[in-house]
Amino acid sequence: MGAWKSYRLRVERRRFLVRAIRKRRDLRLVANRTKRIKPGDILLFSTLRNEAVRLPYFLQYYRDLGVNHFLIVDNDSTDGSLDYLADQSDVSLWTTRRSYKRARFGVDWLNWLQMRYAHDHWSLVVDPDEFFIYPFCDTRPLRALTDWLDASSIRSFSAMLLDMYPKGRLDAQPYRAGQDPLEIANWFDAGNYTIRRNDYYGNLWIQGGPRSRVFFRDMPDKAPALNKVPLVKWNWRYAYVSSTHMLLPRGLNRVYDEWGGEKASGALLHTKFLDTFTEKAMEELKRKQHYAASLEYRTYAARLKDEPDLWCKWSERYINWRQLEILGLMSKGNWA
């Protein structure tokens, strides 16, 4: 990397940080329990809107995994999410009515909170419909992973987004609060992902899965990115660039091996496709607060009317992380 490019990237990173500092004014504090954060705690950051039905299971899942504190930005929920979260003893909560889009889809808000609270902590950034899995997650808590990453001098951990969907119509099985969404959406695409390298930020750009196969088959370049780096040993100088797809400094995006070996990686099981999805797609369509003028949601809405089944004969039913390891979607690397 030349000096000029290195300089440009540094300027860009600083710009993101300044932006994050500026956007802190969007946030109104609801519950600040960050005093309870102890050195070495694992923190979870999330932005959400109207996810009340998902929250009980979401919080439970990550508590069981070993997350110590949740830092959540609520973007103008109207379904009681705010009150529910404010009551949780391990949640610090902010709320905002400002534009999600103008905060670069929430990235600025979280960058600010991370800068403020996550320095020197392992920080996990996920949406309420994303469930983080990693090698040995059924027998080893998240702390085992972060300890191992620390011991191996690894600062960032990749977890590709894996879209999960039910068999049959999306609205066939209603989701109840507290339920494991994987009971309903437990199918996924095992081997239709394509990868490109983004030479500017040094990350991989992964696309594919059911969204490419069904919604974006005519414009695959517009299909959503599935590469994510949600778990990072945070430093206040770091900044996410676009969602958690990539971050700066770009060394943190080097979560893949280029010389034939496999680094350890996990997956984010994305349980977006529940019965709540159709409604959500319609609402987001009106709000136009999502990436590329909500193209994703527009395409969904158009396709979903006539063909709401993402399942196909070669869909794979989710069993556990070992299955994903064997299928080559994630890897143990040299963690044994």
Chain residues binding other proteins by CB under 8 A are: 136, 139-141, 143-144, 147-148, 151-152, 158-160, 189-197, 204, 206, 210, 212-213, 217-221, 227, 255-265, 312-316, 327-336
CA distance 299 to 270: 18
Residue among 144 and 285 whose Cβ is closer to other proteins? 144
Tokens of 100: 């999600």
CA distance 118 to 111: 10
- Asked whether the beta carbons of 273 and 307 are under 8 A apart, the reply is no
Residue among 93 and 329 whose Cβ is closer to other proteins? 329
Could you tell me the smallest distance in angstroms from the CB atom of residue 245 to other proteins?
11
Residue among 34 and 200 whose Cβ is closer to other proteins? 200
Q: How far apart are the first and last CA of the chain?
A: 34
Q: Which residues pair with 90 in a beta bridge?
A: none
Reduce the DSSP state of residue 198 to 3 states and report it. strand
Cis peptide before 174 (omega within 30 of 0): no
Residue among 100 and 216 whose Cβ is closer to other proteins? 216
Query: Which amino acid, 131?
Result: F
CA nearest to 24, candidates 125, 114, 112? 112
Residue among 87 and 257 whose Cβ is closer to other proteins? 257
CA distance 63 to 295: 34
Phi, psi of 7, deg, nearest 5: -65, -45
Residue among 5 and 196 whose Cβ is closer to other proteins? 196
Could you tell me the smallest distance in angstroms from the CB atom of residue 243 to other proteins?
15
Cis peptide before 249 (omega within 30 of 0): yes
CA distance 73 to 82: 9
CA distance 228 to 270: 12
Could you tell me the smallest distance in angstroms from the CB atom of residue 21 to other proteins?
31
Residue among 112 and 134 whose Cβ is closer to other proteins? 134
Could you tell me the smallest distance in angstroms from the CB atom of residue 1 to other proteins?
16
DSSP classification of residue 157: E
CA distance 327 to 193: 12
Residue among 85 and 329 whose Cβ is closer to other proteins? 329
